[in-house]
A and B are shown apart, each in its own frame.
Chain A
Amino acid sequence: MTQYRVLPGPEHFLPPSAASMGIKLPNPGEGHIHGVIVPEEQAMEEAARQFLMARVPTIFPGPLVLWAWNEKAAKKATAVRHLYETIKECVAPQQKPMLIPMPDYRPKYPKINPEVEINPNHPNLTIWHNKIDCCMFVGVHCHQANLSLKIIRGGTNCFTIAMCAQAGHEDAMLSFRDATPEKIMRLAEWVRKLKGSVKPPEVVSKKEKSAG
């Protein structure tokens, strides 16, 4: 078994794809944490914990859920928004949950406004700008998610979660597979369940803040 672990970066300029380092995808009913296969419920608990521990827990909905192109997408959109609202309700005042869309995949140079959107070709800009330390991808086509997750691992220290509708992502630090609206709702339940039992991040003093 590989010793490689998918950990928050910055790993280096061109991080290897986790698959090339021997990381395998989970089977149905499983997820992975740092590349280690775990039962899905364990991945749920850990994802909820990561959201509750982060200073800026963020969800990045992609085109497959942002656009109401079929009934299932519309249901997923409702579930994702519900997850975001739940995180907002469950975090401490010093935490700042965000919901930032990835409307499409066009390489938007020089247009990208990292305050309002994320683009898979330079996701690090949005993460750096908003100081995001935990994020979840949902509704992003797999090839774009892989590209983006690798860039994030290469250049930031953000913890990445993939709520994947297909077979999961090796390049995320935590990945689900076969995402459904129900699964997303269950993650929201986990966030609510762990509320109060996870230590929120320290309050940043003004001095620390200005030091960046």
Chain B
Amino acid sequence: MSKERIKIAPEFFDIMPPEYQDLVTKATYGNEQRGWKDIGTSKELIEEHSLCAGCPESMAFRYILASLPNPEDTVMVGSTGCTSLVFPHVAIHNIHSLFGNQNAVASGLKRALMVRFPGRVKDVVVLAGDGATVDIGLDMTMQAWFRQEKFTTICFDNELYANTGGQESGLMQKGFVAKMAPVGKGFEKVRLPEIAREAGCHYIVNCTVSKPSLIEKVVKNAIYVARELGPTYLQLYTPCILEIGKNSMEGLQEMRDAEKPTERFAYKEYISEPAKQLLAEMAAKDKEKKAAAKQLASQGA
């Protein structure tokens, strides 16, 4: 992997908008060690965002984009919702699919990429809201998992339809009253992580985006496992501060509160046996590599 494919013609470098100049000179494409710590020291793959000020989805976007192991060979598939308004500002190939269809589109895309580029690792990552993943798109979401499609599904769970003003979603908590769901939710939050496990996902995490290091770890794991074994699923709490009546600065605390041990976003993971084995092998190789590098460095010193 390298930056070779994103070179600006030298004749036009001077007229390119500065953010494109920065992308080719200071972004972390091609850097195998890229991660959340690059934020602030390199060019991020998100330019601006069109979310409400302080929306935790913006943090989630930044951490995920910083953590993708292979951004120049990654295609993201989005769906309608607050997230979809961000994609025009993202420097990664992406497809906007019809609301709910994201996992069907991603299935075809991943298969086509495997045929078209047999020798190259191409990652497909779905990123959609809870309404798209669990309600209108549940059929497509689950069918892709049943079929063992090799891509990662990320759900930004803000527990309602935010972009259309606050309707009830399957992932909403029981009893919750939203602006356009005035009688309160009548049934429990759908247990999608458990459904994902039963539907055949190999790596599943349910958590908030309060900790960038954790997001880096789970995003990388989910992508590595999807490459080799089959579907993976991340359900990330990204509270809609607008709908729950919080200020811009309060999103982080809301996530910290929701991840306490007895709360609904307490860290939870399911890893299949083959995925456990794969991750253990990768960790061992990584350790070996680091030890070799250390030894080399000490010999050189």
Chain A residues in the interface with B (C-beta under 8 A): 61, 65-69, 73-74, 77-78, 80-81, 99-101, 103, 106-111, 113, 116-117
How many residue pairs at the A-B interface have CB separations less than 8 Å?
55
Most chain A CB within a 10 A radius of its CB, from B7, B87, B88, B89:
B88
Q: With an 8 A cutoff between CB atoms, is B5 at the interface?
A: yes
Contact of A101 among B5, B6, B12, B47 (CB under 8 A): B12
CB-based contact B16/A109 at 8 Å: no
- Chain B: interface secondary structure? helix
Q: Which residues of A contact B7 (CB under 8 A)?
A: 67-69
Q: With an 8 A cutoff between CB atoms, is B273 at the interface?
A: no
Per-position contact with A for B64-101: 1 when CB-CB < 8 Å, else 0?
Answer: 00000000000000000000000111000000000000
Determine how close the nearest CB of chain A comes to the CB of B146; give it in whole angstroms: 34
Q: With an 8 A cutoff between CB atoms, is B247 at the interface?
A: no
Q: Which residues of A contact B15 (CB under 8 A)?
A: 99-101, 116
CB-based contact B17/A67 at 8 Å: no
- Chain A: interface secondary structure? loop
Per-position contact with A for B7-33: 1 when CB-CB < 8 Å, else 0?
Answer: 111111001110010000000000000
Please, could you name 27 A-B residue pairs with CB atoms under 8 Å apart, sorted by A?
A65-B12, A66-B9, A67-B6, A67-B7, A67-B8, A68-B8, A68-B10, A69-B5, A69-B7, A73-B9, A74-B9, A77-B9, A77-B11, A81-B11, A81-B12, A99-B12, A99-B15, A101-B17, A103-B17, A106-B87, A106-B88, A107-B88, A108-B89, A109-B50, A111-B88, A111-B89, A117-B17
Determine how close the nearest CB of chain B comes to the CB of A144; give it in whole angstroms: 14
Among residues of A, the one whose C-beta sits closest to the C-beta of B24 is A67
B side interface size, CB within 8 A:
18
CB-based contact B12/A77 at 8 Å: yes
Determine how close the nearest CB of chain B comes to the CB of A25; give it in whole angstroms: 28
Determine how close the nearest CB of chain A comes to the CB of B225; give it in whole angstroms: 30
